[in-house]
Structures are given as C-alpha cells and as structure tokens.
Amino acid sequence: MHSPAADIALRLAEDAEAVCRHYLTNGRKQGRYWIVGDVQNKPGRSLYVRLTGPIYGPGAAGKWTDSATGQHGDLLDLIALNMGITTLRDTLDEARRLLSLPQTDRDRAANPPASPGSPEAARRLWAMGQPMSGTLAERYLAGRGLTGLGHLDSLRFHPNCFYWREDHALNDPPETWPALLAKVTDLDGRLTGLHRTWLDPATADKAPVIPPRKAMGNLLGYGVRIGKPVSVLAAGEGLETMLSLHLALPELPAVAALSANHLAALQLPADLRSLYIAVDADPAGLSAADQLAHRAMGAGIDTVHLSPCLGDINDDLRANGRDALRAHLRPQLAPEDAVAFLDHAKD
C-alpha cells in the first residue's frame, strides 16, 4: 500500500515536465531531461531531472541529480528545496495545489488553516517562498534601479501568490500572481508579518491589480530589516526607498517600516546611538520622520534626516544613479559615518 507521499510523488512524476516548467523556469528540456543550474532555479547545467522512464527504480521519471553537489531525490524533494519548505506536510500541501488535489481529512486535522492575515499565515507563506536570485522579483527590482540584492535574507519570491480583489465574490477562488515577499521582524529577528508586491510576468512590473501591494501579520513597530544594527541604524517608510539606501551605503543597517504611520511608531534598539531617517518628501512622510525623530531624541539618540532631491531616495537613484546618490548623501552624514559607510563601501 502506497503512502500519501508516494502516491503524490507518482502523480508528479507522471507530468514531470510540467512540474519543471513551473518551478525551474530558468531550465530547458534536452532530450529526456530538464536541465537547470540547481534546485533554486539558477541558470546552468548542473541539475538534471528525468522526464520519462519507469515508475520505480533506476531511471524512473521524476528523479533528479545535481552533479555539482551530489544532491538527488524525487519531485517532492525538489519542490521542498525549491520553495524553502521544511516539513513534509507543507510540501504535500504545495504539491496538491500544483496538482489541484484536495487535502485529506487527516491533513486538515493535523494542519488547520491559519487565520487570514495572521502572523501564522505570514510565516507559512514565507516558508513557501524561494530565493530571489534569477526570479521575476529580481527583474522587478532591477527595473527600479535595484540590482545585486539576491543575497538579502529578508526577501523571497513566490511564483503563485494568492490575491483577493476587494470586490471578489465570497465563493470565488482567488487570483494568483507572482510576488516579491519581504519579511517583517521584531527587534529579536522573529517574523511578525509579511509584505507582498504582486508582479506581472509579462512586464516584470507591478501586477495590474489594485492595490498591488499588501501587508499581513503584526506590523506596528516592526519592519523589513537589512543588516543588524550595532549602534547606527537608518529607517524609512518604503521597501524600495530603503533598498536604494542599502545600495548606496551597503554597510549601513537599515529598516523599512512600510508606511508613514508605522515609521512614526518604529521600535528602536536599546543600544542605538545614531539614527538616520530617510524622509519621503510629502506631508505624511515629513510628519512621520519628525515624530520618530522626537521619540529618538527623547531616548538620547542622535537623529539626522536624510532628505532626497526628488520624492524619495529611490526616485533619486533611478534619476541620477548610485554615485550621484552617494554624493548627495555624504554631507548629510556625520563625518565618522561618512568614512565608515561611504569611503569604505564595497561596490
């Protein structure tokens, strides 16, 4: 008698090429194999998946091997590694979604649904994300002038993220779009929420949905973190604003609060000595920056506004380039921080 996992692995193997086209989009079919760089979908030729063959044994369809690392397995293993899933239960859920299979009663009892928009729902969605390198999310950010950010552990990509329109009927299924995922954490690094930007595969821009960005989980006081602050931190509203600042000053720890209200309420590390606030040049942004600065100075933290030339720092980056952005930021930094974060910046 087959286990549920074995049965689903067989179902996946019966249409191995469709599985590969879904998860390994940077690969291509070559004879009886799908060839790609690795399980994370990087371009290359190290990993090969057998598309045809017997059900069991040597040469079975769905079996894969990475000649560079020695990793091997079946398509369930591939899905888990590709999506960053750590449990068999969640891997089976993902495979069932791909195959349009319902969950069993046992699955539902062991894995009750998380409340929509809850931190638990955010944690489950984050677990299903995959590394951003080589994905549509990386192409989207590049279109915003944000390149070379695939190493950031606060960002992931989901190829089929649910989207509910505001006017969707109660019983209608959600749409699915690719999405850039950004992890929201507290001061101790615990995931509290998630920020999603849905993407259009045809244009590598934001998806044609309103709004194209939504957040879930607990956000107030928390943010998307880039680097770990020791005594200096930069804070701002938008994710792309703070990614732009990171591109210009890669050694400066940063956090994106995701909205003006959340920036004003951002929790600050107890040992912080200096705070740079990336200001959005609109009334809400200026007010939030002032409120955060007032709180920080009350806690004895030196506070400096980083003002853009245009609407925000991403606008500056896109219009003028990184070198001009660095030149604009230099006189706004404390002299010792200019040396630490600009003169020692690694391109």
Residues 127 and 22 in one domain: no
pLDDT tens for 266-281 read 999 999 999 999 999 9
Residues 238 and 205 in one domain: no
Residue 217 has pLDDT above 50, yes or no: yes
Question: What pLDDT does 1 receive?
Answer: 39
**Structural domain total, the chain:** 3
pLDDT tens for 86-144 read 788 888 888 888 887 655 555 445 455 566 678 888 888 888 888 888 899 999 999 99
**What CATH number corresponds to the domain at position 9?**
3.90.580.10
Question: What pLDDT does 123 receive?
Answer: 85
Residues 336 and 302 in one domain: yes
Check if the beta carbon of residue 227 is closer than 8 Å to that of residue 192. no
Residues 207 and 133 in one domain: yes
Question: What pLDDT does 292 receive?
Answer: 97
What is the C-alpha to C-alpha distance for residues 89 and 94, in angstroms, rounded to an integer?
A: 9
Residues 91 and 175 in one domain: no
Q: Which amino acid is at 341?
A: F
Please state, for a pLDDT cut of 90, what percent of the chain lies above it. 59
Of 187 and 1, the structure prediction assigns the larger pLDDT to 187
For residue 181, the surrounding DSSP H or E stretch is strand 175-185
Q: Among residues 304, 293, 303, 301, which one has the least CA distance to residue 331?
A: 304
Strands 33-36 and 28-30: antiparallel
Question: What pLDDT does 260 receive?
Answer: 93
Domain boundary among 176, 200, 217: 217
Residue 167 has pLDDT above 80, yes or no: no
CA-only gyration radius of the chain, Å:
22
Q: Which amino acid is at 27?
A: G
- Quote the domain boundaries for residue 306: 223-343
Residue 28 within a domain: yes
What is the C-alpha to C-alpha distance for residues 265 and 330, in angstroms, rounded to an integer?
A: 27
Residues 338 and 233 in one domain: yes
- How confident is the model over 40-62, as a mean pLDDT? 88
Domain boundary among 62, 78, 109: 109
* Length of the chain counted residue by residue: 347
Residue 334 within a domain: yes
Question: What pLDDT does 186 receive?
Answer: 92
Residue 290 within a domain: yes
Residues 261 and 172 in one domain: no
**What CATH number corresponds to the domain at position 245?**
3.40.1360.10
Q: Which amino acid is at 89?
A: R
Residue 30 within a domain: yes
Residue 101 within a domain: yes
Q: Where are the alpha helices (DSSP H) in the chain?
A: 4-14, 16-23, 75-83, 88-99, 105-110, 119-127, 136-143, 239-248, 260-264, 283-298, 313-320, 322-329, 335-338
Residue 114 within a domain: no
pLDDT tens for 329-341 read 999 999 999 998 8
**What CATH number corresponds to the domain at position 168?**
3.90.980
Question: What pLDDT does 145 receive?
Answer: 97
53: how many CB neighbours lie within 10 A of its CB? Answer: 16
Question: What pLDDT does 216 receive?
Answer: 92
Residues 295 and 326 in one domain: yes
Residues 59 and 145 in one domain: no
Residues 51 and 143 in one domain: no
Residues 235 and 312 in one domain: yes
Check if the beta carbon of residue 280 is closer than 8 Å to that of residue 305. no
Question: What pLDDT does 231 receive?
Answer: 93
Residues 200 and 239 in one domain: no
Q: Which of 24-38, 130-144, 165-179, 258-272 has the lowest mean pLDDT?
A: 165-179
What is the C-alpha to C-alpha distance for residues 169 and 166, in angstroms, rounded to an integer?
A: 9
Check if the beta carbon of residue 40 is closer than 8 Å to that of residue 71. no
Mean pLDDT over the full length of the chain: 88
Domain boundary among 217, 245, 263: 217
Question: What pLDDT does 104 receive?
Answer: 54
